[in-house]
Amino acid sequence: MAFDTFVVVDWSAGKRAPKRPSKDAIWIGVVQAGVERDPVYCRSRQDAEAWLSAFIAAEAKAQRRVMIGFDFPFGYPRGFVERVTGSADPLVFWDWLEARITDTEAGENNRFEIAEQLNACFDGIGPFWGKPSKTLWPDVPYRKDGIVYAACAERRQADLAAKAASSCFQLAFPPTVGSQVLMGLPVLSRLRRLHDVAVWPFEDHATAQTVFVEIWPGLIETAVKEVSDDPIRDRVQVRLLSRALAGLSHDALADMLADVGDNASEEAWILGAGHKDALVAAARAMPTLTPPPLRNDCFALPAGVDWTPVDDALALLKERLGPVVRVETMPLMQAAGWVLAEDLVAKRANPPHPNTAVDGYGFAGAAVGDGPQVLPLVDGRAAAGRPFGGVVPEGHAIRVLTGADLPTGVDTVVLDEDVRVGGGQVAFHGPLKPGANTRKAGEDVQAGDIALTQGRVLTPADLALAAAVGHGEVLVHQRLRVAVLSTGDEIVEPGAEVGAGQIFDANRPMLSSLCAGFGFEAVDMGCAPDDRDALRGFLDNAAAQADVILTSGGASAGDEDHMSALLRESGAMLEWRIALKPGRPLALGMWSGTPVFGLPGNPVAALVCTLIFARPAMGALAGAGWHAPQGFDVPAAFEKNKKPGRREYLRARIRGGQAEVFKSEGSGRISGLSWAEGLVELPDGAVHVKNGDPVRYIPFSSFDL
């Protein structure tokens, strides 16, 4: 089974790293469902563990399969683990370490004590060596001199195959791989118990939701060296290696997973050892690659079905389509209408501090009882942006203005309208509920809450929220580019000369502006003649310029229906015979990796199929998720006898609280489209609609029209 998401973790054995992204911290590279994310910076191992745990859970929920690479050995040279635990199973040693290693947020840990314990299992000095002090931890030698690697080798088979100079027994002086293993394996041991994880190559990785693999950035050093625009090497490494893994073909990755040395079941293996050139090539190639998560068979229909019900067709599309657009950061001021590409976590609470909701006088609520109250006023006041620096003693009050942070000693405010002030005192009637007229810190949003979820099309109110919780820019999906193409020998440009048998292109202006209304970028591809070679050129051109192709005409199986013929020829076409009126078969397929929606040529059918099928599907491709239009029941102002078998959409509008439908159902009647303000949806089965019966009405505004 293939992987959807690739993560590469550059581990660290060091202390808590600075707030500002720096090297020697933990860096995590992510290519999620084909979309490259900005590498994640973790200041501590605890941060990294929490991030990974949340990420693994979220990807599992989204049913994405994840491969996570860690850059430290998963095992020790043969013989080591058995000597320590009595079992040759490396995962037993993971748990052995997990039970013993302690680690704090600041990075204080007991790894040298544990190394002393491990050394005690072996004769002579070692195998672990290297420490920051010449005198502490007497059972860990300062230097390697004199250690004899007899009971187990100094390096694993994998280290030799990858030509890695480091050893998992070296605890200090770079490369400190030995320390990374001691501090890393306990984390992996916990993550593996918490989630559905298989550890390669020890466990069967074919079906697990998440697979841990050992990687080594040294394998792609050639590609890393070529990057000159990022001073943080660790960040470059995780970015390139996650790209490389994501960019490998399914077969190439399967080969690497299968190609392990004889001792791998005990010593583990470095993914890609012996495949350096392929990894380097993939690391170099990815930057220009746009995410290709759609598979060529994504439009396949279940075999044997003749007419597919609308809901089944929608469910299939919903299940198979995902974002195909890259992400970028965007200043908040320009982000309205863009699709949010990650959950936006509040960096700051709203309100950030407790403050007063009114102009008045603040005091400690607990000290105020029933009846008349007179409190001496302290000097000074608190106003918005000008907090009071001092402390208000219990039994005293202070002048406060709306929006001001509550001074220390104040938790309750009495309104200006309810007080008398004079002689340095304020008088009012109790009781007052403690906390009255104040806003609690975080009562709206707490720091760390998810303020906005991924996939939202950002509204003006969303921008206000994002700003309030501390974001000046957001990660958004680039706009989905939709190539709009008409087909047919009879079609000419609107307003141009028309010859015999010709008609104007009504679909292109309609479909282009629909796409723009949906928030996409319409790319006008003109009109193609009914000629297979010419049409091929148009499709190539469209695939090169857009993320999805919307065509109209030629979608059936007739002689001149070249769109369906071409898509069939390319091996990736499916004629969707959907039980829908109006709308003849849809031709859904892939052209050079780009999804094609082949709509019927008829403008009425083209519009209905766009609204019902293409719009939600393109929303999913754009990263905004699947959105069904919202309809509601209204009484019918018409009569209709509908046969079973097909769902039917009527051009409709509401007048006097009732749904009226266009006088003719003829699917060439464009004037009826323009007349309509929405659609009436009649169910798949037979219905006899009488005047006043409820029918489902979907206003065009529900389709962003």
Q: Is 411 in the site for ligand AMP (CB under 6 A)?
A: no
The least distance separating ligand AMP from the CB of residue 501, rounded to whole angstroms, comes to: 10
Neighbour-count burial for 118-145, b at 16+ CB within 10 Å, e otherwise: bbeebeebbbbbbbeeeeebeebbbebe
C-alpha to C-alpha distance for 579 and 546, rounded to whole angstroms: 29
Q: Could you tell me which residues come within 8 angstroms of residue 135 by beta carbon, excluding any fewer than 6 positions away?
A: none
The least distance separating ligand AMP from the CB of residue 188, rounded to whole angstroms, comes to: 57
The least distance separating ligand AMP from the CB of residue 610, rounded to whole angstroms, comes to: 13
Q: Is 660 in the site for ligand AMP (CB under 6 A)?
A: no
The least distance separating ligand AMP from the CB of residue 629, rounded to whole angstroms, comes to: 24
The least distance separating ligand AMP from the CB of residue 488, rounded to whole angstroms, comes to: 5
Tell me, what amino acid is at 501? Answer: G
Q: Which does 36 bind (CB under 5 to 8 A by kind): Mg ion, ligand AMP, none?
A: none
The least distance separating ligand AMP from the CB of residue 489, rounded to whole angstroms, comes to: 9
Residue pair 298/595 in contact by the 8 Å Cβ criterion: yes
| Region from 130-138, 480-488, 633-641, 661-669 binding Mg ion, contact rule CB under 5 A | 480-488
Residue count, binding to ligand AMP (CB under 6 A): 17
C-alpha to C-alpha distance for 335 and 337, rounded to whole angstroms: 6
How many angstroms separate the first and last alpha carbons of the chain?
40
Joined together, the tokens standing for residue 457 give: 């099309």
CB half-sphere exposure, 647, CA atoms < 13 A: 22
Q: Which does 491 bind (CB under 5 to 8 A by kind): Mg ion, ligand AMP, none?
A: ligand AMP
Place of tokens 């791989």: 177
C-alpha to C-alpha distance for 412 and 394, rounded to whole angstroms: 12
Joined together, the tokens standing for residue 510 give: 């309609």
- Which one of residues 97, 273, 506, 661 is an interface residue with ligand AMP (CB under 6 A)? 506
| Region from 18-26, 433-441, 550-558, 680-688 binding Mg ion, contact rule CB under 5 A | 550-558
CB-nearer residue toward ligand AMP: 486 or 610:
486
CB-nearer residue toward ligand AMP: 12 or 552:
552
CB-nearer residue toward Mg ion: 554 or 623:
554
CB-nearer residue toward Mg ion: 323 or 488:
488
Q: Is 553 in the site for Mg ion (CB under 5 A)?
A: yes
- Which one of residues 32, 109, 355, 486 is an interface residue with ligand AMP (CB under 6 A)? 486
- Which one of residues 29, 261, 553, 582 is an interface residue with ligand AMP (CB under 6 A)? 553
CB-nearer residue toward ligand AMP: 36 or 561:
561
3-state secondary structure of 316: helix
Q: What is the DSSP letter of 406?
A: P
Q: Which residue is nearest to Mg ion (CB)?
A: 488
Letters for 211-230 (x = contact with ligand AMP by CB under 6 A, - = none) are: --------------------
The least distance separating ligand AMP from the CB of residue 265, rounded to whole angstroms, comes to: 60
| Region from 52-60, 450-458, 548-556, 674-682 binding ligand AMP, contact rule CB under 6 A | 548-556
The least distance separating ligand AMP from the CB of residue 490, rounded to whole angstroms, comes to: 5
Residue pair 680/639 in contact by the 8 Å Cβ criterion: no
Q: Is 490 in the site for ligand AMP (CB under 6 A)?
A: yes
Q: What is the DSSP letter of 268?
A: -
The least distance separating Mg ion from the CB of residue 488, rounded to whole angstroms, comes to: 4
CB-nearer residue toward ligand AMP: 164 or 605:
605
- Which one of residues 75, 601, 672, 699 is an interface residue with ligand AMP (CB under 6 A)? 601
CB-nearer residue toward ligand AMP: 142 or 504:
504
Q: Is 272 in the site for Mg ion (CB under 5 A)?
A: no
Joined together, the tokens standing for residue 552 give: 């109209």
Q: Rounding to the nearest 10 degrees, give the CA dihedral for residues 484, 485, 490, 496.
A: 60
CB-nearer residue toward ligand AMP: 603 or 699:
603
Q: What does residue 620 show for φ and ψ, rounded to 5 degrees? A: -65, -40
The neighbouring-strand residues paired with 473 are 331
C-alpha to C-alpha distance for 122 and 144, rounded to whole angstroms: 15
Q: Is 488 in the site for Mg ion (CB under 5 A)?
A: yes
Q: Which residue is nearest to ligand AMP (CB)?
A: 601
| Region from 94-102, 116-124, 342-350, 502-510 binding ligand AMP, contact rule CB under 6 A | 502-510
- Which one of residues 373, 437, 552, 610 is an interface residue with ligand AMP (CB under 6 A)? 552
Q: Is 603 in the site for ligand AMP (CB under 6 A)?
A: yes
Q: Which does 623 bind (CB under 5 to 8 A by kind): ligand AMP, Mg ion, none?
A: none
CB-nearer residue toward ligand AMP: 159 or 505:
505
Beta carbons within 10 angstroms of residue 530's beta carbon: 18
Helices (H) and strands (E) in the chain, counts: 19, 36
C-alpha to C-alpha distance for 6 and 326, rounded to whole angstroms: 15
Q: Could you tell me where the DSSP H helices lie in 231-286?
A: 233-247, 250-258, 264-267, 276-285
| Region from 268-276, 343-351, 430-438, 482-490 binding Mg ion, contact rule CB under 5 A | 482-490
Nearest Cα residue to 682 out of 671, 670, 693: 693
Q: Is 678 in the site for Mg ion (CB under 5 A)?
A: no
CB-nearer residue toward Mg ion: 553 or 589:
553
C-alpha to C-alpha distance for 285 and 234, rounded to whole angstroms: 19
Neighbour-count burial for 240-254, b at 16+ CB within 10 Å, e otherwise: bbbbbbbbbeeebbe
| Region from 293-301, 447-455, 520-528, 552-560 binding Mg ion, contact rule CB under 5 A | 552-560
| Region from 226-234, 379-387, 467-475, 553-561 binding ligand AMP, contact rule CB under 6 A | 553-561
CA distance readout (Å), 182 to 51, 145, 170, 434, 554: 20, 22, 11, 52, 64
Q: Is the dihedral of CA 631, 611, 646, 637 positive or negative?
A: positive
The neighbouring-strand residues paired with 330 are 474
Q: Which does 600 bind (CB under 5 to 8 A by kind): Mg ion, ligand AMP, none?
A: ligand AMP
C-alpha to C-alpha distance for 195 and 179, rounded to whole angstroms: 25
CB-nearer residue toward Mg ion: 409 or 554:
554
Joined together, the tokens standing for residue 378 give: 């302290």
Joined together, the tokens standing for residue 52 give: 């990974």
CB half-sphere exposure, 357, CA atoms < 13 A: 12
Q: Is 575 in the site for ligand AMP (CB under 6 A)?
A: no
Residue pair 293/178 in contact by the 8 Å Cβ criterion: no
C-alpha to C-alpha distance for 602 and 600, rounded to whole angstroms: 6
Residues forming the site for ligand AMP (CB under 6 A): 486, 488, 490-491, 503, 505-507, 552-556, 600-603
Residues forming the site for Mg ion (CB under 5 A): 488, 553-554, 601
